[in-house]
Amino acid sequence: MNQPKIRIEDYTYELPDERIAKYPLDQRDKSKLLIYNKGIISQEQFSSIPSFIPEGSMMVFNNTKVVPARLFFKKDTGALIEIFCLEPVTPSDYSVSFACISECSWKTIIGNVKKWKGGYLSFFVPEGADSDVVGLNLKAELIEKQDNSYIVRFFWEGGHPFSKVLELCGQVPIPPYLNRETEAVDLERYQTLYAKFRGSVAAPTAGLHFTEDVLGKIRAKGVDCEELCLHVGAGTFLPVKSEFIEDHIMHSEPFSVTKSFLKKLYALPEGAKVISVGTTSTRSLESLYYAGLQCYKDGVEEWVPRCVGQWDPYQENPDISTKESIKSLLDYMEYNNLEILNLRTQIIIVPSYRFRVVDILVTNFHQPQSTLLLLISAFVGGESWRDIYKFAMENGFRFLSYGDSSMLVR
């Protein structure tokens, strides 16, 4: 396996706390937009992005929806236990789990877990809570430990679906680096306008800048706006603690695409650009190539979809084209009479990665020494990421989830 030897401390920069955007701007599209086009950097306002989108291109958005995944329970002793829902276990399908009306089990992270020795916990009902919350009688049972996570069974009364239970009892899990509690503004603004399918514990923040007006102007140029769905996991918040990136383990995340989406991607004429909105869309699009490669090698009739591994792209230099890879996935869906293809990915994109699908990337500014910054470095090549971040720092750009945007052209 040819894993890149990358020291994470080589991908850092000074980020003062005051440059981290703690709240969103009043208007989504009034954020700044940095344009990087093959070495040339300029500054615009995000509302002007339609004028920079090439006609005839395909623009891809992640339509996942953030769920209020933080739940607080209380022991008889008064100790508070936070349960952070990651992904459903029983039933394992997101939509089926959210539709459960009495119980379900989830993979979770638990805060203050040492104080939970076993037994049931009751939901901590805040003072003045809605009567519907009180009537739920929501409880949690610790089932088992799995590595750094826990399987928890939730059960409740009243016949509400679990999606409503989370809506009534949960808090939106805003990033820890904001250093504040979730507020009313986050319920609307830590969500894209096009969010559809519940499942993420973090927003695909590159999409937070888009308004209906901006989207309308992009479509008016003949740009094909398409959607996929990757549910963002808690791993997006985890820092890289290892000295070398080869020792860092990425969490796997589920994503899905429709047959219609793949057909449009396959039919793109030569020279048409694929524009990815966000790093989650990018990881999904690039993972499609390697899923298709699996299918191509195993054969349509024999292939069983499996997680795209963290280092799969670095093991060999595949000799099939992107179109051949996408065609393999389409043939598989046709053979199995599928309209939606459900996959998982653990892919990490670091310098030396060869991009197979994405030509242009719309993204925010990321934390120092993060896998997302490595992705940016891989995309623009060499030390260009330093020029981009230096320009942003010197020109008053706001950083991280609620910060400003960039459009990067390879």
The three-state DSSP-derived secondary structure of 253-271 is EEEEEEHHHHHHHHHCCCC
pLDDT at 250: 92
For residue 316, is pLDDT > 80? no
| Structure-token pair, residue 220 | 């008016």
Is residue 375 one of the residues assigned to a domain?
A: yes
Q: CB of 6 within 8 A of CB of 314?
A: no
pLDDT value at position 274? 98
Q: Identify the domain containing residue 202 by its residue range.
A: 8-66+190-409
> In this structure, are strands 70-74 and 139-146 parallel, antiparallel, or unpaired?
unpaired
* Residues contacting 70, CB < 8 A, separation 6+: 82, 83, 84, 85, 170, 171, 172, 173, 182
Q: Which residue in 348, 347, 340, 372 sits closest to 94, CA to CA?
A: 340
In this structure, the answer to whether residues 227 and 80 fall within a common structural domain is no
Read off the pLDDT of each residue in 313-324 and give the average, rounded to a whole number: 91
Domain check: are 83 and 214 in the same one? no
**Token duo for residue 222:** 């003949």
Q: Cα separation of 28 and 16, whole Å?
A: 23
pLDDT tens readout for residues 266-307: 999 999 999 999 999 999 999 999 999 999 999 999 999 999
Distances (CA, A) of 151 to 65, 109, 116, 163: 22, 9, 13, 18
Q: Kindly state the tokens that stand for 366.
A: 């990321």
Does any domain span residue 176?
no
CATH of the domain at 36: 3.40.1780.10
Inside any domain, residue 269: yes
Asked if 397 and 352 sit in the same domain, the reply is yes
Domain annotation covers residue 369: yes
Verify that 160 and 280 share a domain, yes or no.
Answer: no
When pLDDT is cut at 50, 70 and 90, the band that residue 79 belongs to is confident
Task: For residues 52 and 91, state if they share a domain.
Answer: no
Task: Determine the average pLDDT of the residues in 351-372.
Answer: 97
Please give the share of the chain, as a percent, with pLDDT higher than 90: 88
Strand partners, 139: 122, 155
CA distance 58 to 281: 12
pLDDT at 170 over 80: yes
Count of structural domains, the chain = 2
Residue 78: pLDDT band with limits 50, 70, 90: confident
Task: Look at residue 2 and tell me if it is in a domain.
Answer: no
> What string of H, E and C letters represents the secondary structure of the chain?
CCCCCCEHHHCCCCCCHHHECCCCCCCHHHCEEEEEECCEEEEEEHHHHHHHCCCCCEEEEECEEECCCEEEEECCCCCEEEEEEEEEEECCCHHHHHHCCCEEEEEEEEECHHHCCCCEEEECCCCCCCHHHHHHCCEEEEEEEECCEEEEEEECCCCCCHHHHHHHHCECCCCHHHCCCCCHHHHHHCCCCCCCEEEECCCCHHHHHCCHHHHHHHHHCCCEEEEEEECCCHHHHCCCCCCEHHHCCCCCEEEEEEHHHHHHHHHCCCCCCEEEECHHHHHHHHHHHHHHHHHHHHCCCCCCCCCECCCHHHCCCCCCCHHHHHHHHHHHHHHCCCCEEEEEECCCCCCCCCCCCCCEEEEECCCCCCHHHHHHHHHHCCCHHHHHHHHHHHCCCCECCCCCEEEEEC
**Co-location of 160 and 253 in the same domain:** no
Q: 364 and 293, same structural domain? A: yes
- Clarify whether residues 247 and 301 are in a common domain: yes
Q: Which two tokens stand for residue 7?
A: 């020291």
Whether 179 maps to a domain, the answer reads no
Helix axes 384-394, 371-380, angle to 10 degrees: 110
Condensed to tens digits (0 to 9), the pLDDT of residues 16-69 reads: 999 999 999 999 999 999 999 989 999 999 999 999 999 999 999 999 999 999
Q: Is 129 a residue whose pLDDT tops 80?
A: no
181 close to 146: Cβ distance less than 8 angstroms: no
Regarding whether 23 and 151 lie in a shared domain, the answer is: no
Q: Over pLDDT 70: what percentage of the chain? A: 99
**Cα(69)–Cα(314) distance, integer angstroms:** 34
- Given CA atoms 259, 264, 265, 270 in this order, what sign does their dihedral have? positive
135 and 196 co-located in one domain? no
Do residues 202 and 359 lie in contact, with contact meaning Cβ atoms separated by under 8 Å?
Answer: no
The pLDDT score that the predictor gives to residue 267 is 97
Let me know if residue 262 belongs to a domain.
yes
Summary mean pLDDT of the chain? 95
Instruction: Among 171, 198, 227, identify where a domain stops.
Output: 171
Final residue in a domain of this structure, among 106, 138, 171: 171
Q: Please report the pLDDT score of residue 126 as a whole number.
A: 80
- Is the same domain home to 309 and 335? yes
pLDDT at residue 7 tops 90: yes
Picking from 72-76, 104-108, 218-222, 391-395, which range would have the lowest pLDDT averaged per residue?
72-76
315 within domain boundaries: yes
Angle (nearest 5°) at CA 35 between 29 and 41: 140
Same domain, residue pair 270 and 307: yes
At residue 1, does pLDDT exceed 70?
Answer: no
Identity of the residue numbered 346: Q
b/e per residue, 262-292, with b = 16+ CB within 10 A? Answer: beebeebeeeebbbbbbbbbbbbbbbbbbbb
